[in-house]
Structure 1
Amino acid sequence: MTTALPEDSWLRDLRPQPARVTAAEYEALSEEIARSIEIVDGYIIFCEAPAPDHQTAGRRLANLLERHARNAVKSGRYGCLTVNNDVDLRLRDIPLLNRRPDVILYRCLDRDRGERLRAEHALLVIEIVSPGSETQDTTDKLGEYARAGIQHYWIIRLDNDGVTSIERYALDRASMLYKHLGTLMKDEAGGPPEITNPIPITITWDDLAF
């Protein structure tokens, strides 16, 4: 009879560890592969394809943001702005931290210089909570986006009819942590909520319905 011995840390260290992906290695990947993964502390995280409702909500949110972004640019108070779904966002180079937000509002990139989308370009990042993403969206990414210096973060929750709530966070630069500004609820009394930051936005719930 063999008795299992407690595993010492030195023994664990002898085991092969998965290799970390560098920024150069990631940039050499095909777009097809890059779309299916995120990189956290250099390690590959495989992303499941979003459910249809998740994809629809992301498209509705992007359309809403894009409409208000265009108005903000026309006002002359903002520079060039872009809205996108599911694009690479570089939060850190070493160890590599690369996320693909569901929706992101950011300052336009310099295409001639081949500028990569980084945290300093982002004005607002939005993540839509799925059954398997609760911890990532409300804890992991909440901390990562704050430490990267992204000013605004929204967490979106859905019901069977569309977007049901928007949790809004703003960065406290002294602590580099997010402060909860409040949660907008679809069924609240009153007119459509109006937001002033990062740009003026009116939340029309009908536009976020399925």
Structure 2
Amino acid sequence: MTALPDWMRPPRAEGWFAEDLDRLPEAPRHTELIDGALVFMLSPQRAWHGRLVTALTTTLMAQAPAGFEVEREMTIRLDDRSRPEPDLLLTDLPYDPNRTWYAPEDVKLVIEVVSPESAHRDRTVKLRKYAEAGIPHYWCVEDEDGAPVVHVYELDEPTGRYAPGGIFRGTLERPVPFEISLDLDKLTPPSGK
């Protein structure tokens, strides 16, 4: 077995902290920090995932009112030990070319497109962590025979947990965080089957 490179060793006995991600230039792209553990996205993404994230990005950018920004693959510093990197997020902060992360109070919607490698984290761990951090809206997008299906969650402030807002196939209409109307069937091209 080969030795781990030095950069993979935690800088302290307590493990990794959120600010450590900005000091790991050797880490693979899309490295997340979950509860003090580095999570690497080493498996290649499917074309479906990439196309869907791109289509969601451009569609949401076109619908976002002034004052909203759509960011792709930016981390959210949930606490000192967690900085997940969602596929997309919506924020009301102005664009800053030097930004490397967002605080949860600045994020209005998080979107995760589920991959086989990320399914458990997206469906359970991140669902809980984003709610605990107070992010008001979370969408978990699943692949259902090549078509996107969006599971929508809205934060129930008294409990600090997400309440299901619906499962959307074909079209998605939501009034929050702004008026959103998506033709889900047009977000990914039909497969060549």
TM range (shorter): 0.7 to 0.9
Aligned counterparts of 1:132 and 1:108: Cα–Cα separation in 2:
31
Secondary structure at the aligned position of 2:102 is classed as coil
User: Could you tell me which of 17, 20, 30 is aligned with 1:22?
Assistant: 17
> Counterpart in 2 of 1:84?
71
Instruction: Give TM-score scaled by structure 1 length.
Output: 0.75
Aligned counterparts of 1:83 and 1:141: Cα–Cα separation in 2:
19
Q: Amino acid of the residue matched to residue 85 of structure 1? A: R
Larger radius of gyration: 1
Instruction: Give TM-score scaled by structure 2 length.
Output: 0.82
CA displacement at 1:108 relative to structure 2: 2.0
**Residues 50-104 of structure 1, C-alpha deviation per residue, up to 9 Å, x if partnerless?**
22211111111111111111xx22xxxxxx21112211211112xx201110111
- Contact 1:109/1:115 (<8 A) preserved: no
2:49 is aligned with 1:54: yes
CA displacement at 1:129 relative to structure 2: 1.4
User: Could you tell me which of 154, 157, 160 is aligned with 1:170?
Assistant: 154
2:123 is aligned with 1:128: no
Aligned counterparts of 1:89 and 1:140: Cα–Cα separation in 2:
14
Cα RMSD of the aligned pairs, angstroms, is 2.4
> Counterpart in 2 of 1:138?
123
> Counterpart in 2 of 1:6?
none
CA displacement at 1:205 relative to structure 2: 2.5
| Unmatched runs of 5 consecutive residues or more in structure 2 | 1-11
- Contact 2:18/2:79 (<8 A) preserved: no
Mark the CA change 1:23 to 1:195 in structure 2 (over 3 Å): closer, same or farther: closer
- Contact 1:82/1:107 (<8 A) preserved: yes
What is the number of equivalent residue pairs in this alignment? 177
